[in-house]
Amino acid sequence: MYVPAHFSMTADEVATMLSEISAVDLVTPGPDGLLATFLPMLFDPRTGEHGSLLGHVARNNPHWKAAGGGAESLVIVRGPDAYISPSWYAAKREHGRVVPTWNYTTLHVYGSLVAHDDPEWLRGLVTRLTDHHEGSFESPWAVTDAPEGYIAGQLRAIVGIELVITRVEAKTKLSQNRSEEDRAGVVAGLTARDPDDPVASAMRE
């Protein structure tokens, strides 16, 4: 990924974004070309030097069969993004030499893919995924709320996957290359459409 110096992320910013991962795009070379799957994943910092990403796919999804082949896989993590109109820049009024762009934050996480078919490993993963996403609910659902036989059948229908991370490329393009006046104009333009716009919030931070 092309990352100019002014769009690079600090190690702390990368760690925060990894810890907040929800759903991602997993891309792996397969025998007939690239395989791509959108799926929820969790970051586990305890594996190897850089940690790992954990998730699962349907057993009928051929993606997991590409694990263990030695080829590098890629997980694309998407943060907030937004179209940026040049009409929001102070520079438009000053000289007009401005064009549209897009602001965004993203991680490209590379590593080796491992498949897990152990029922207890899978049970632990789906429990962690559920707890992670249900945690903010007033009455969170738990895996143990469903009948044991039903859960056992569901676990047989999936295969766990783990991306053991080898490197991370990170980019946060939030108008850092623009003047303070232009950045203020972008924040004002975004929040005029949505007071809680996530890109505007990221720019303020």
What are the domain boundaries of the chain? 5-81+102-175
Over residues 56-108, the pLDDT tens digits come to 999 999 999 999 888 999 999 999 999 999 999 999 898 989 999 999 999 99
Sign of CA dihedral 151, 152, 153, 157: positive
Confidence tier at 129 by pLDDT (50, 70, 90): very high
The domain defined by 5-81+102-175 folds into Pnp Oxidase; Chain A (2.30.110)
Q: How far apart are CA 203 and CA 174, in angstroms?
A: 6
Cα 85 to Cα 104, 186, 193: the distances in Å are 14, 8, 12
